[in-house]
Amino acid sequence: MANILILGGGFGGVVAAESLARQIPKEHQITLVSRSPKFIFYPELVRLAFGKCEPDDISFDLREAMLDRRVRFIHAEVARIKPESRRVMLAHGEVDGELPYDYLIFALGRRLATERITGFFEHSNHLLTVEGALKFGEALRDCGEGRAVIGRCLDGRLPGPVYETAFALARFFEERSERERVRITIVSPDPPGLQFGDGDVARALRTALDEHQIEYLPDFPINTVKPGAVVTSNGHAINYGLLMLLPPFRGPAAVTGLGFTDSEGYINVDRAMRVQGVERIYAVGDCVNFSGPKMGHMAVHQAEVAAANVALEIAGLQPLPTYNHEIMLIIDEGGQESIYLHKGLWDNEPMIVRQGRFWTWAKRVQEKYWLARHS
Ligand SMILES: Cc1cc2nc3c(=O)[nH]c(=O)nc-3n(C[C@H](O)[C@H](O)[C@H](O)COP(=O)(O)OP(=O)(O)OC[C@H]3O[C@@H](n4cnc5c(N)ncnc54)[C@H](O)[C@@H]3O)c2cc1C
């Protein structure tokens, strides 16, 4: 009997557990460990902040969902992994101590490195947790006149929610006939030019931003947040009345110093999702060292690849399936300017860009389908 441990109850961990349970015989034991008893559908956090849904609409209970799939769930904090003894140290939870494994799938996501931006923790809102989204929602409803600054810090590798928040904010004030009260500025650490380079997607974004009179300020690498102002590393500052920033991301703490991460703490994996330099460990999702943005659909595909390869290893065969890195993103503008883009990140295929109201609807359907299928 093999004992497979999956760490993390997000997109990567849930899909890895489900996929593995379908592929291996029942005598093997699959265990999922997560610090949160709930799965959260992060792409809906912008809508949560704007009061368009409730926390219960975008989450489900992991223990119940896993029970249906004969996966054991442990609610605990992963402190450290110990590849040399094939054990994982858990703390603050249902199990305090070490759990052994024969195969490990690591899916703990990324760490929010708020400590890299002075004053971020004290003064900035973000949208990366349920609590963060609800707090930003409160700040929004209390905000007076002035400038709303929405943006990313350097290494905040998630462009979609920045645009979606700016669009939602514009619509929030437009619907109340108060749009002139607030100036909306998107800040980005990237060089001039809109995100995703030139071409169709930049044109589509530009049209959508102009439609809502949203300013775009590139080359603005924030390194300090003060009450009422953000400041860049080269001393430029702008004032804000409302602030939402994505902090820098880093790899997860549980693998720091183990020798298989890059300089930002992301885990080095090959295309079969095997962790480089150690045996029987796979990693998937935001925690791996692939280039580009960190996205849920990538975590899902990587989890499917890792699960298929663990199943092969258990059957005494060589890992075979490999992952192909691509971006598939809907930027929901809330109406006819919503954008879909698809691009292979490891090939030279041209980017596909579509724009229209259909994509707002498609994003809602995708969310409902996901939650119905996995809860
Ligand atoms: C506002 C927002 C909008 C987004 N929009 C999109 C979108 O439109 N499309 C898209 O594809 N992606 C989107 N994403 C990105 C997507 O949500 C992430 O890429 C995805 O969640 C990554 O999945 P993961 O399983 O790797 O990590 P996560 O989903 O972060 O899951 C990690 C899990 O590990 C647990 N965990 C972490 N550390 C520990 C520990 N030490 N011990 C125990 N458990 C731990 C966490 O509780 C969590 O359950 C969005 C994200 C946000 C925040």
Tell me, what's the pLDDT at 196? 65
How many helices and strands (H and E) does the chain possess? 9, 22
β pairing state of 222-226 and 229-232 = antiparallel
Tell me, what's the pLDDT at 141? 87
Task: Give the residue whose CA is nearest to atom 19 of ligand 1.
Answer: 295
Whether 74 contacts 90, CB under 8 Å: yes
Tell me, what's the pLDDT at 93? 84
Q: Ligand 1, closest atom to CA 62?
A: 49
Q: pLDDT tens digits for 324-364?
A: 999 999 999 999 999 999 999 998 888 899 999 999 999 99
Q: Ligand 1, closest atom to CA 293?
A: 19
Whether 315 contacts 293, CB under 8 Å: no
Q: What is the pTM of this model?
A: 0.96
**Residue where the block lists tokens 């029942």:** 26
Q: Which residues of the chain have pLDDT under 50?
A: none
Span between the terminal Cα atoms of the chain, in Å: 27
Tell me, what's the pLDDT at 92? 87
286 CA from centroid of ligand 1 (Å):
7
Is the CB of residue 35 below 6 angstroms from any atom belonging to ligand 1? yes
Whether 248 contacts 153, CB under 8 Å: yes
The single-letter DSSP state of residue 58 is: G
Structure-block tokens of residue 78: 């992963």
Q: Ligand 1, closest atom to CA 39?
A: 49
Task: In whole angstroms, give the CA distance from residue 35 to residue 90.
Answer: 10
161 CA from centroid of ligand 1 (Å):
13
Structure-block tokens of residue 307: 């699960």
Q: Ligand 1, closest atom to CA 286?
A: 26
Task: In whole angstroms, give the CA distance from residue 203 to residue 200.
Answer: 5
